[in-house]
Amino acid sequence: MWRLLLFFWRMLFFCMIVADVAAAHVRYSIPEEMAMGSIVGNIFQDVGLDVQRLKSGRARIFTEDSSEYIALNLDKGTLEIKQRIDREERCGQVSPCSLHFQIILNNPMELHHVDVEILDINDNAPVFTKREMNFDISESAVKGARFPLDSAKDPDVGSNSLRTYKLSPTDHFKLSILSRPDGTKYAEMILDALLDREMHEQHKLTLTAYDGGDPPKSSSVRINVIVLDANDNAPVFSQSRYKVTVPENSPRGTHITQVSATDADKGVNGEVVYSFSQNSDVASSVFNIQANTGEIHVVGALNYEKVKQYEIDVEATDKGGLRDTCKVLIELVDLNDNAPVISIISLSNPIPEDSPLETTIAMLNIKDLDSGMNGQVKCFISHDLPFKIKPSSLNFYSLVSNDILDRETVPEYNITITAIDEGTPPRSANKTIHLKLSDVNDHAPVFPRTFYSASITENNNPGVPFLAVKASDEDSGNNARLSYFLEDNPLKGMSASAFFTVNAESGEIMAVRSFDYEQTKDFVIHVKAQDGGSPTLSSNVSIHVLIQDQNDNAPQVLYPVQTGGSVLAEMVPRSADVGYLVTKVVAVDVDSGQNAWLSYKVHKATDRALFEVGLHNGEIRTVRQVTDKDAVKQRLTVLVEDNGQPSRSATVIVNVAVADSFPEVLSEFTDFSMHDKEYNDKLTFYLVLALAVVSFLFITCLLLIISVKVYRWRQERLFFKSNGALPVIPYYPPLYADVDGSGTLKQAFSYDVCGTTDSRKSDLKFSRQISQNTLSGDCTRTVPRPKTDLDNLLAEFEGIREKVTVQNWSLYCGLRVLAVK
């Protein structure tokens, strides 16, 4: 109302001014948008023209731009709105906005300027060019951040133009209205409260622009604020602690568990990456985690015996670097994957067989790495062994003997120790101890026989083994290494070692001398076998050594006596009957058995038909009646032969005188002796001669000794007597004495140079009688003793002396025969 009054007042004021200067200018002010036909002004009044003039002058309006907003009413003399005037269209923001035109009159020509000022009315509301405005604002935007808003446009001018803005709601933003230099106003949105995408992802606001009209006009625009996510949330694990159990030895790739974390942020800020934290590098060699899913798998070897549980810190990290951690506790479950292990800590091997009970043989340590029942171990050995296992302390056992041991029964044992755990399935281990028993000398040597007998042929070669004894010893080694010794018992009055020796190694028994059956027929010796133990054990065996006879002696003719020069003859009276016993050839053989079984044969005879010799008894008898034609001198050669292999023999010449008187015989036998001499071997004769010469030399040299000898022999001869039916044998046969003296014991290491007739005792009673009578006091036995060179020399000398003696004796006999002649 007030404004309307003011408007009229101003309009009135302008009209008055125009009227004042009608001659030149007329001015009007009209509001825009007046209706058609509305009167702008009255020309009559304002210019002073009347209707006539208007008509006569044919008044009209002239405009330079030919716009015809206003028309002239000639009748009324008024200017009227011909066309609606929009100030904004006509002038825009130019103010003031005026229409200029002229009223032209003719007759006379008159020109009047008219200015019509168009006054603004609030006919336009402010207008936003966009229907809505969109903003993307990060939630991390700081308070006070400014966001320019599009301005609204109001074509009205002056007070009708844009005056102000309003924003609603204003819980997060406030508005700041600013003016540009040209006076236009614009607004900025200022962040007043922090945004949180997680609470409100979008804000809808309305910006309203008001102009200054009365009433004011307004218009609004929508503002959409989208809150952009900022990485303001850390990932969060669903559990702070995960606990899983997994059997050991699970293969690679076994799924263990899955951890998960959530991140309230959006997009990449909400993307979570899982990893093991730095301090879990032990676990990371065994497990891995999938970065995007959080799945944990086995990648290494799980061994309960090494690590019983793993504690892993798992981190979940988003792209912005925010993180959370959780613990994953992985407990391994033991499996019976380890067999017990038996180790021998100490071992006594071998042990002596006489070890007492409970002797410790070995110390064992048995371990099983598994735990619980899987690690509980039982340990045993076979029941049939004489050993047992004794637990000593935890995991330690001792293997001890449990019975009496005997190496000779079982020399070694394979002791298999078995350890088994109590897992399912159980696992076991074996260990074998190869135990040897060492020998103890608990067995004496044993001979397979209690008694041996062996035989040696006489005249054996000393040193040739004739028997080997062998004992055995159940022990071993030195305890079974046997040596053989001869027990040095007295044997035939001497030490046994004088006769025999035993090879200590081989047990071979040898004679150390040559035996003479005729002297010794058997021996009983003892051989001891001794082992090498400590102390030693020994046993003995007796050995019966038989000496076997050899036909080493030829028969010896005892009668008739054969001498080189002597002539003896048996007398056979011519009246003798058939079967007359002429004489008996007496011979002995010092051998025994077959070797001494003598037979007699006539070898040569003057007249074979006259005499015969008893094959076994040697009796010479006549086989026919003696006649006068038979020669006085009869000569028989009798062969005495033993039954040995080969046989040995001797011959004896028997002279028989077939005569009735002794002178007859003597006359015949002078010849006979000459014949006899021829008959004798010439060599023997020369030998006798040579020996006589040698003897002679001895006589000259050792006259005194020979004299004594001769004296002795003579005395002995006086002792010689005839025995029984046999004729008197005036002296001892030289050959026999020779054999006896040196023939049977030829060996150099014998000192027994003086022949004894004792050995002949059992062989021939006859001979014994003779020898007892003749030589019993003559013989001396020397005890054998170690032989030296001096001894040899002495022996040789004795031999020679003896021979000389014999030869002297023979010589003496020869002389005697010659004396008889």
Binding site for ligand NAG (CB under 6 A): 412, 414, 434, 487, 489, 526, 539-540
Q: Considering the complex, what minimum distance in angstroms separates the CB of residue 446 from ligand NAG?
A: 10
Which residue number, 175 or 486, has a Cβ lying nearer to ligand NAG? 486
Residue that is written with structure tokens 């003749």 in the block = 774
Q: Are 317 and 275 in contact (CB under 8 A)?
A: yes
659: helix, strand or coil: coil
Residue from 739, 773, 767 nearest 753 by CA = 739
Return the bridge partners of 77, or none: none
Q: Are 660 and 636 in contact (CB under 8 A)?
A: no
Q: Considering the complex, what minimum distance in angstroms separates the CB of residue 531 from ligand NAG?
A: 14
Q: Are 122 and 211 in contact (CB under 8 A)?
A: yes
Dihedral angle of Cα 351, 353, 356, 358, to the nearest 10 degrees: 50
Which residue number, 165 or 447, has a Cβ lying nearer to ligand NAG? 447
- Which amino acid makes up residue 141? A
Q: Considering the complex, what minimum distance in angstroms separates the CB of residue 415 from ligand NAG?
A: 10
Which residue number, 430 or 489, has a Cβ lying nearer to ligand NAG? 489
∠ CA 93-94-99, rounded to 5°: 125
Q: Are 30 and 117 in contact (CB under 8 A)?
A: yes
Residue from 698, 594, 691 nearest 641 by CA = 594
Which residue number, 434 or 714, has a Cβ lying nearer to ligand NAG? 434
Which residue number, 526 or 624, has a Cβ lying nearer to ligand NAG? 526
Q: Considering the complex, what minimum distance in angstroms separates the CB of residue 378 from ligand NAG?
A: 24
**CA 385 to CA 230: how far, in whole Å?**
84
Which residue number, 540 or 807, has a Cβ lying nearer to ligand NAG? 540
Q: Considering the complex, what minimum distance in angstroms separates the CB of residue 290 from ligand NAG?
A: 55
Q: Considering the complex, what minimum distance in angstroms separates the CB of residue 681 from ligand NAG?
A: 56
Q: Say which residues have a Cβ less than 8 Å from residue 382's Cβ, sequence separation at least 6.
A: 415, 416
634: helix, strand or coil: strand
Q: Considering the complex, what minimum distance in angstroms separates the CB of residue 490 from ligand NAG?
A: 11
Q: Considering the complex, what minimum distance in angstroms separates the CB of residue 738 from ligand NAG?
A: 41
Q: Considering the complex, what minimum distance in angstroms separates the CB of residue 528 from ligand NAG?
A: 6
Which residue number, 412 or 671, has a Cβ lying nearer to ligand NAG? 412
Which residue number, 227 or 467, has a Cβ lying nearer to ligand NAG? 467
Which residue number, 436 or 712, has a Cβ lying nearer to ligand NAG? 436
**CA 139 to CA 232: how far, in whole Å?**
9
Which residue number, 72 or 435, has a Cβ lying nearer to ligand NAG? 435
Q: Considering the complex, what minimum distance in angstroms separates the CB of residue 403 from ligand NAG?
A: 16
Q: Say which residues have a Cβ less than 8 Å from residue 643's Cβ, sequence separation at least 6.
A: 594, 595, 596, 597, 598, 599
Residue that is written with structure tokens 């309009």 in the block = 11
Q: Are 124 and 155 in contact (CB under 8 A)?
A: yes
Q: Considering the complex, what minimum distance in angstroms separates the CB of residue 532 from ligand NAG?
A: 19
Q: Are 485 and 507 in contact (CB under 8 A)?
A: no
Which residue number, 384 or 681, has a Cβ lying nearer to ligand NAG? 384
Residue from 747, 361, 705 nearest 519 by CA = 747
790: helix, strand or coil: helix
279: helix, strand or coil: helix
What Rg value do the Cα atoms of the chain yield, rounded? 87
